[in-house]
Chains A and B, each alone.
Chain A
Amino acid sequence: MAASLPSQKARPDPVQQVGATFAWVTALICLAPIPLVVIVATTRNWADGFWAGGITMRWLAEGWQQISPYAWFSLRLAVLILVLDVLVGLPTAWLIARYDFPGRQLLSALTMVPIAIPGIAMALALILAYPAMRGDGRLLVAGHLLYTLPFFVGALVAPLSHPRLRELEAVAATLGAGTVKRLLFVVLPQVRGALLAATIMVVTLSMGEFNVSFFLFTPSLKPLPVELYSAYITGRVEQAAAITLCFLLFVIPATIALERLGGGRVGQA
């Protein structure tokens, strides 16, 4: 997989050295804001500097109180989206992975189309087409479903079409296992990791989705990122940091788990 480096080399490889510098500096820049969020969220008066006026838990307590209803709403929405993704995406992933038919390439491309469409355009199109469905949140569900489906299907096609899995199934079949048995005891255990990765992916993508939600939310159906945004625009910086911290505490462990499971994905910014 990796560029094979002869380890016996005596002098350091300049390409690797340059790479190491770039990688470490970039990682530092990517991660630096996170401790900064912690510091600002626990500082009494950030405008006067680091921990000016002492450390306080006030912002975190107030922040959590402010966003917890929205966090629960977002979590419920994400779980609903996950269920819908499984119902809609799993059969399609199976069809693409296992069958050869005219239009297979087209179907595969279709599952990727929502990635190419800016969330804001998708949301606008939904509002114009179904204005009556905005109030009860159906459009919010539709937007999140479209946004997450490509990633869900994409995460499952490759593992489902893996040759080793096909072999195992063939072996099970010759030993007399029926379709249901093969699905439950051969396929499911083999793709468990990919399914878990797809699950984490869908939940974090949905919980962090802003571009679609911003146009489709209603005051009573407001996802967490929309509330985060209003804190950024109107709130105190300490409280905004506290709310962000609550959000990060959820997504960052999920991302680390995802990277360990070998899945990476690309959402919209």
Chain B
Amino acid sequence: MEKPQRPGMWASTLSAPFLIIVLTLLFWPLIILAQRSLQPEAGKGLTLALYGEVITSSTYLRAFMNTAIISVLSTVLALVICIPAAIYIEGKGGRGRKWLAVALTIPLSLPGIVIGFFVILNFGLTGVVPQLIERVTGRRELVLAYTFWGMLLGYLYFQIPRVVLVMRGAISAISQDSIDAARTLGASTLRVYFEVILPALRPAIISASSLSLATGFGAFGTAATLSRGYRVVPLEIAAAFTENFKPAQAGALSLLLMLITTTILFGVGNLDTARTRRRRASTREGA
């Protein structure tokens, strides 16, 4: 097989359209965003005042805490659910597994707002769960939709397909021989999980977590549909921009949020890249 060539004059221009797009539509706007957040009033000097406001404002600090809590919690729950599920889906035999794979991919194509609406249909004031409970007990309970728990369900819903997808790509790293050996030596299923399966999946768990955390931090649609009081950072950005007309403040918040998501994705996500790059060459979900 021939080795990759070096590009000639003609070939090196192939990426020109892409580079122009990224420079003009992404990097330049981000520079403007940073500049506006550092220099809120035109003509005056640079200042960190807006960032200081974020650090001293209890509202904004609370929002960052809330975002971290819901992202971490939904990520952990998604991992607990999806690792066993992925092992089963990638196992041998049966049409059932193929259908499961499709079923667990469907939530990927749903926008966050639709996921929020699903939670409302299930746990809203006239949701199906409260209605059923009312029929049995006479009282409407579990009206969770607009609480923290309803939001957590929404976040979990969009994390599941992402985590399943990354995990499915890594299941082949588990050695069935080790599982069999562990079981022959009398290990319980839980012990097999902790001592054989999870260590083998470590790199995938790291990429899945980084993807899932970053998605959670940046999620806007689900929160916009469901939040009544549990404020996350994307909601504060939207409020600062559209309701309070403070674009520079919204810019400062956006940059901080971006810093978090890019660190999670490119920093944490790449800790294990060297080891898994070859395997991931065909499944790029780790991003």
Contact = CB atoms under 8 A, between A and B. Distances in A.
A55 to B, nearest CB: 17
A23 B100 contact: yes
A46 B126 contact: yes
Interface in A91-113: 91-92, 94-95, 98-101, 107, 109-113
A24 B89 CA distance: 10
B72 interface: no
A100 B3 contact: yes
Nearest to B255: A121
Given A91-B18, A95-B7, A259-B101, A121 B257 contact: yes
Contact of B21 (A18, A22, A27, A145): A145
Given A16-B87, A88-B21, A121-B237, A7 B92 contact: yes
A260 to B, nearest CB: 8
Contact of A154 (B22, B92, B211, B284): B284
A210 B105 contact: no
A121 B254 contact: yes
B14 A146 contact: no
B85 A26 contact: yes
Interface string B215-248: 1111111101100000000100110011000010
A47 B126 contact: yes
A252 B211 CA distance: 23
A105 to B, nearest CB: 10
A23 B262 contact: no
Interface in A106-144: 107, 109-122, 124-130, 142
**Chain B contact residues: helix, strand, loop or mixed:** helix
B247 A128 contact: yes
Contacts of A158: 281-282, 284
Interface string A7-27: 100000011101111111011
The listed residue with most A CB atoms (<10 A of its CB), out of B117, B214, B237, is: B117
10 contacts: A18-B84, A22-B85, A23-B97, A98-B11, A117-B261, A119-B220, A121-B258, A125-B29, A208-B109, A266-B211
Interface of B: 1-7, 11-12, 14-15, 17-19, 21-22, 25-26, 28-30, 32-33, 36, 81-82, 84-93, 97, 99-118, 120-122, 124, 126, 128, 131, 135, 155, 157-158, 160-162, 165, 171-172, 174, 176, 179-180, 189, 192-193, 197, 211, 214-222, 224-225, 234, 237-238, 241-242, 247, 250-251, 254-255, 257-258, 261-262, 265-266, 281-282, 284-285, 287
Interface of A: 1-7, 14-16, 18-24, 26-27, 29-34, 36-37, 40, 46-47, 49, 87-89, 91-92, 94-95, 98-101, 107, 109-122, 124-130, 142, 145-146, 149-150, 153-154, 157-158, 163, 166-167, 170, 204-205, 208-211, 214-215, 225, 228-229, 232-233, 237, 240-241, 244, 247-248, 251-252, 254-256, 258-260, 264-269
